[in-house]
Amino acid sequence: MGVRPPSPPVSLKCAFLLAASAFVVPAGSTSAATRSDDGPPATKSELTVDGDQSPGGGTATLEMATGRPPAQPGAVLLPRPPFAYRLVRRSAPESAKKSRAPRLRLRSKRRNKVVDTKAWLRRHDLRLPTLPVPSGDDPGALPGFVPRTQRGLRVIRAIQQPHHLLVFYGPDFSGGRELMVFGSKGDLVAHLDFRAFTSAPRDVKDDAAYIAQGAQWAVVRDGVLYVSHAHRTYARSSGGQNAYVSAVALPSGSLLWRSAPLVANAGNFLLHEGYIVTGYGFTAEPDYLFLLDAATGETLRRTKVKSGPRLIFLRGGALYVRAYDTDYVFDLR
Spatial separation of the C-alpha atoms in residues 153 and 308, rounded to whole Å = 29
Alpha-carbon separation of residue 232 from 175, 216, 308 (angstroms) = 10, 10, 11
Spatial separation of the C-alpha atoms in residues 161 and 48, rounded to whole Å = 9
Per-residue pLDDT at 231 exceeds 60: yes
pTM of the shown model? 0.81
Q: In the predicted model, what is the mean pLDDT of the chain?
A: 83
User: What is the pairing mode between strands 75-77 and 188-193?
Assistant: parallel
Look at residues 204, 159, 193 and name the one whose alpha carbon lies nearest to residue 62: 159
Q: Comparing 58-62, 115-119, 140-144, 203-207, which segment has the lowest mean pLDDT?
A: 58-62
Note the pLDDT of residue 333. Answer: 87
Per-residue pLDDT at 142 exceeds 50: yes
- For the segment 220-233, the average pLDDT, to the nearest whole number, is 96
- For the segment 203-229, the average pLDDT, to the nearest whole number, is 96
- For the segment 162-173, the average pLDDT, to the nearest whole number, is 96
Per-residue pLDDT at 170 exceeds 80: yes
Q: Cite the beta strand spans of the chain per DSSP E.
A: 34-36, 75-77, 86-87, 104-111, 149-150, 153-160, 164-170, 178-183, 188-193, 214-221, 224-230, 244-249, 255-258, 270-272, 275-280, 288-293, 299-304, 309-315, 318-323, 326-332
- Quick: pLDDT tens for 68-110: 555 456 899 999 999 999 999 999 886 666 678 899 999 999 9
- Quick: pLDDT tens for 25-44: 233 333 345 444 443 333 33
- For the segment 239-250, the average pLDDT, to the nearest whole number, is 98
Spatial separation of the C-alpha atoms in residues 202 and 200, rounded to whole Å = 5
Q: Which value, in Å, is the radius of gyration of the alpha carbons in the chain?
A: 18
124-127 long-range CB contacts below 8 Å, 24 or more apart? 124/56, 124/313, 124/315, 124/320, 125/56, 126/48, 126/49, 126/55, 126/56, 126/311, 126/313, 126/315, 126/320, 127/48, 127/55, 127/56, 127/59
Question: Would you place residue 225 in the very low, low, confident or very high pLDDT band (cuts 50, 70, 90)?
Answer: very high
Spatial separation of the C-alpha atoms in residues 278 and 24, rounded to whole Å = 26
- Number of CB atoms found within 10 A of residue 25's CB: 19
Q: Comparing 98-102, 204-208, 229-233, 265-269, which segment has the lowest mean pLDDT?
A: 98-102
Contact in structure between 133 and 155 (CB atoms under 8 Å): yes
Note the pLDDT of residue 180. Answer: 98
Per-residue pLDDT at 52 exceeds 60: no
Contact in structure between 86 and 258 (CB atoms under 8 Å): yes
Per-residue pLDDT at 64 exceeds 70: no
Per-residue pLDDT at 213 exceeds 60: yes
